[in-house]
Amino acid sequence: MPYPGSAPESPLRVAIIGAGPAGFYTADHLLKNKTLFVEIDMFDRLPTPFGLVRAGVAPDHQKIKSVTRVFDRTAQKPNFRYFGYVELGRHLSVDDLRRHYHQIVYTVGTASARKMGIPGEDLARSHSATEFVGWVNGHPDHRERTFDLTQERVTIVGMGNVALDVARILAKTPAELAKTDIADYALDALSHSRVREIHILARRGPAQAACTIPELKELGELTDAAIFTLPREMLLDDASREMVEKDGQTRRKYNILQSYAAGTNGTGKRRKIVFRFLVSPVQIFDDGHGGVGGMQLMHNRLAVQTGGGIRPEATGEVERLPTGLVFRSIGYRGVPIPGLPFNKRYGIILNAEGRVLNPDHSPRPGEYTAGWIKRGPSGIVGTNKPDALETVKRMLEDLQNGVHLSPEAPQGEAVRELVASRQPHYFTYADWQKLDALETQRGQVQGRPRVKFTRIEEMVAAVKG
Ligand code: NAP
């Protein structure tokens, strides 16, 4: 049975919503399939592509950002088009997509931050790490935010790699930051920062820390920040000792943390980063003026669950930690797409191996998902490659079984006209490349990888005149 994509005269038309790593890897897997004739249109609500690689990966991690060269190669393929600054739900609806595509893939990521759900969380100077990361990276949604860097003590809740990114950016010297592509306004604000102490809180112990080894080591190499752990919080219970003995990665991580025990990685440094374990914030105190004044921490012990999981359990002992600025870095959540079934518990699109499901768990023909909005916010950029492959395999299986959408107008030109009528300022990939060249040129003058445009109007003006 012929199916869309099985012959050049009837190409498979795919819409990918979201131009982050999951979107690009999905496009790449489809375009590399030698037996498939496919036309891909990728949409993003921002003019600029690359999702979290541009706006989430820390500005001092340029090596990770260099994956965009791989995405560039995908975008150069003749059957690929980019429509930037086109938002699903604003410029296009899911019904519009159904009229023009056989398959739709949602790769929109997880845009919102999880909340702690404790009193005082909404006080002034209590923020999500997501906002700070977006701000330092010049994300248009976050560029107008302000963070009170006159505070001397900052507390970060959570000990994943995002928490370490926030700590590192707060702890770096202006000279260290000036080599990166951090947004200009953030470089300026951080150059005047009075932050002296950064506390990173984990609710479990050192053997369960969520961060990874390279990020942990990197903190120990900062010019002007010494790292501390508290000896009593480094003591291991039986289950944690077993983890450290049995697992090489956990052992290395533990040993690095141990090496920080007395702040011996640097004397005479201006800033201090303190790793705290077995503590959970239970309240944020008001300083009397509506801002963060301190935190109440509950001390924990570890309990082994049936099934082997290790959970924190409150001991009843509490501690007051004075602090003026709080960042919660406890994970992300997806934002529901109107009209698409959503798994509220996990904050992801309801799906099985990338096939979007109805609330009764029957598959929705022709609709798929990949990346964090499919599996939740875990893994590194490269994790999205196998994740996207799983989705593409299901897409091809369905296609061969005759399961796909039946678009009324499966023509590329019809989509271009529709987009142009709804969003005349849409960005093509060539538009993005112009902006990219301008940013890089601005960077060269300052000896930096790039100086970003951070307002959408400025991006449009720079490219479209
Ligand atoms: P994460 O790695 O899942 O870490 C979340 C942290 O929040 C954990 O320490 C977790 O503790 C803690 N937490 C969760 N709920 C909490 C609560 N209610 N109260 C207190 N603590 C709580 O998430 P992430 O840091 O946002 O990173 C997301 C993903 O991106 C990860 O896979 C990460 O490795 C990746 N990433 C990678 C890089 C890099 O490669 N350089 C950089 C940034 C992000 P428990 O462990 O006890 O649950």
Ligand 1 atom at minimal distance to the Cα of residue 159: 9
State yes or no: pLDDT of 190 exceeds 90: yes
Tokens of 356: 């979007």
Mean pLDDT for 64-78 is 97
In this prediction, residue 406 has a pLDDT band, given cuts at 50, 70 and 90, of very high
State yes or no: pLDDT of 313 exceeds 90: yes
The residue to mutate among 168, 313, 326, 330, having the most atoms of ligand 1 within 8 angstroms of its beta carbon, is 330
Mean pLDDT of the chain: 96
Per the model's pLDDT, the better-predicted residue between 140 and 260 turns out to be 140
The residue to which tokens 């799906």 are assigned: 351
Mean pLDDT for 302-329 is 95
- Numbered ranges of CATH 3.50.50.60 in the chain: 116-330
Going along 230-341, which residue ranges are E strands? 271-276, 279-286, 292-304, 310-322, 325-328, 332-333
In this prediction, residue 396 has a pLDDT band, given cuts at 50, 70 and 90, of very high
Mean pLDDT for 417-444 is 98
Q: What strands lie across the sheet with 292-304, from one edge to the other?
A: 279-286, 292-304, 310-322
The closest residue, in CA terms, to atom 1 on ligand 1 is 160
pLDDT at 338: 86
pLDDT at 427: 98
Instruction: Determine the distance separating the centroid of ligand 1 and the alpha carbon of 160, expressed in angstroms.
Output: 3
State how far the Cα of 442 lies from the Cα of 88, in Å rounded to an integer: 32
CATH architecture assigned to 12-111+333-427: 3-Layer(aba) Sandwich (3.40)
State yes or no: pLDDT of 265 exceeds 70: no
Instruction: Determine the distance separating the centroid of ligand 1 and the alpha carbon of 331, expressed in angstroms.
Output: 5
Tokens of 49: 């592509």
State how far the Cα of 221 lies from the Cα of 388, in Å rounded to an integer: 35
Instruction: Determine the distance separating the centroid of ligand 1 and the alpha carbon of 53, expressed in angstroms.
Output: 17
Helix residue ranges, H only, 51-160: 51-55, 62-65, 68-75, 94-100, 129-136
State how far the Cα of 183 lies from the Cα of 138, in Å rounded to an integer: 5
Mean pLDDT for 352-367 is 97
Q: Is 64 exposed, middle or buried (0-12, 13-18, 19+ CB in 10 A)?
A: middle
pLDDT at 261: 82
Mean pLDDT for 276-301 is 98
Instruction: Determine the distance separating the centroid of ligand 1 and the alpha carbon of 210, expressed in angstroms.
Output: 6
pLDDT at 264: 62
Instruction: Determine the distance separating the centroid of ligand 1 and the alpha carbon of 211, expressed in angstroms.
Output: 7
140-159: pLDDT as tens digits: 999 999 999 999 999 999 99
Ligand 1 neighbours by CB, cut-off 6 Å: 116, 157-163, 165, 202-204, 208, 210, 215, 280, 329-331, 377-380
Phi, psi of 429 (to 5 degrees): -65, -35
State yes or no: pLDDT of 15 exceeds 90: yes
State yes or no: pLDDT of 262 exceeds 70: no
- Numbered ranges of CATH 3.40.50.720 in the chain: 12-111+333-427
The closest residue, in CA terms, to atom 46 on ligand 1 is 210
Instruction: Determine the distance separating the centroid of ligand 1 and the alpha carbon of 163, expressed in angstroms.
Output: 7
State how far the Cα of 120 lies from the Cα of 286, in Å rounded to an integer: 7
Give the CA diameter of the chain: 74
State how far the Cα of 103 lies from the Cα of 404, in Å rounded to an integer: 6
Q: Which fold has domain 116-330?
A: FAD/NAD(P)-binding domain (3.50.50)
pLDDT at 465: 84
pLDDT at 263: 66
Instruction: Determine the distance separating the centroid of ligand 1 and the alpha carbon of 119, expressed in angstroms.
Output: 22
The closest residue, in CA terms, to atom 16 on ligand 1 is 330
- From 446, 381, 398, select the one nearest 12 (Cα to Cα): 398
Phi, psi of 55 (to 5 degrees): -110, 0
pLDDT at 398: 97
Can you name the residues that pair with 13 across neighbouring β-strands?
39
Q: What is the per-residue burial (b if ≥16 Cβ within 10 Å, else e) of 262-301?
A: eeebbeebebbbbbbbbbbbebbbebeeebbbbbbbbbbe
pLDDT at 339: 86
Can you name the residues that pair with 303 across neighbouring β-strands?
311
State how far the Cα of 297 lies from the Cα of 283, in Å rounded to an integer: 7
State how far the Cα of 207 lies from the Cα of 305, in Å rounded to an integer: 16
